[in-house]
Amino acid sequence: MDISFILLIFFIGFVGSFMSGMLGVGGAIINYPLLLYIPVLLGFEGFNAHQVSGIVAVQVFVATFSGVWAYRKGGYLNKELISIMGLSILIGSLIGGYGSHFFSEDVINMVYGILAIIAAVIMFIPKTGIEDHQNDHIRFPKILTSIMAFVVGIASGIVGAGGAFLLVPLMLVVLKIPTRITIATSLAVTFISSIGTTVTKLVIGQVPIMPALIVMAASLIASPIGVFIGKKANAKVLQGILLFVIMITTVKIWFDILN
């Protein structure tokens, strides 16, 4: 494998994992389009959608684990949310991950594009009065929360994502969870989801091993750095960055789908 290609894959993994730690997403919203398009644009042999979803699944697994470890102290992890959403999203991701084997690349890209649109629309809904709540006083509808996590798990399992780029907007807008608790908790839930997705992608042979290992190395370094920055940044700034990232990715994905 060419050294320049290795550095490119490392850089892509670093960017996605940095955003993962800072915004509470697994990094798939960044890495999926970057891995799909950038190598080809720079003249390297590209990855197909199945391979990209496999690499992204591994990246999300490592990045979210690193992020949760960095957030383990500070009181931002809501254990009740993690347990309810974690189980539902794990079951959903196992189903979606296995089901992806039966879908074409175009279908996988279409699912990803639809998820990105949904996430962008949700982020435009005003979010008010949720930043003052403490972790111990958070209340949320448990059945609705479980159903949302299950559906997100199925969809994210198909594209190899952990689902956090959709979970974060849902937690902020629908469940009214404060931003930093959302970021930390979504990392934990996404880590659980990524277990099922990564296992199924490995079993059905959709993970190119060397690129995945390179992305893993980048994730172990970048995700804790992102967590450190995220703890210091203003909550509104973090929401704005997440919206910008989702919007850019959505436009790019759909531009290529329609052309």
First to last CA, the chain: 31
The confidence score (pLDDT) of residue 127 equals: 59
DSSP secondary structure of 130-186: -TT--GGG----HHHHHHHHHHHHHHHHHHT--SHHHHHHHHHHTS---HHHHHHHH
Exposure b/e, 194-206, CB count within 10 A at least 16 = b: bbbbbbbbbeeeb
Contact criterion met (CB below 8 Å) for 25 and 186: yes
Residue 165 predicted with pLDDT over 80? no
Which phi and psi (to 5°) does residue 204 adopt? Answer: -90, 5
**Every domain of the chain and the residues it spans:** 3-258
DSSP secondary structure of 25-70: --SHHHHHHHHHHHHHHTTS----HHHHHHHHHHHHHHHHHHHHHH
The confidence score (pLDDT) of residue 62 equals: 87
CA 97 to CA 201: how far, in whole Å? Answer: 7
pLDDT digits (tens, 9 = 90+) for 11-61: 998 988 888 788 776 677 778 788 888 898 888 888 888 888 889 888 888
The confidence score (pLDDT) of residue 11 equals: 93
The confidence score (pLDDT) of residue 84 equals: 92
Residue 109 predicted with pLDDT over 80? no
Within 10 A of 20 (CB to CB), how many other CB atoms are there? 36
Which residues, 6+ apart, have CB-to-CB distance to 86 below 8 Å? 149, 188, 189, 192, 193
* Both tokens assigned to 92: 């959903």
CA 140 to CA 120: how far, in whole Å? Answer: 22
The confidence score (pLDDT) of residue 26 equals: 63
* Residue range 108-128: mean pLDDT, rounded: 75
* Residue range 222-229: mean pLDDT, rounded: 88
* Both tokens assigned to 182: 């959302």
Residue 164 predicted with pLDDT over 80? no
The confidence score (pLDDT) of residue 126 equals: 64
What's the DSSP call for residue 102?
Answer: G
pLDDT-based confidence at 133, cuts 50/70/90? low
* Residue range 115-126: mean pLDDT, rounded: 77
For the whole model, what pTM was predicted?
Answer: 0.76
Express as a percent the part of the chain with pLDDT over 90. 13
In whole angstroms, how large is the CA radius of gyration of the chain?
A: 17
Residue 246 predicted with pLDDT over 80? no
pLDDT digits (tens, 9 = 90+) for 180-209: 888 888 888 888 878 877 888 888 888 899
Average pLDDT, the chain: 82
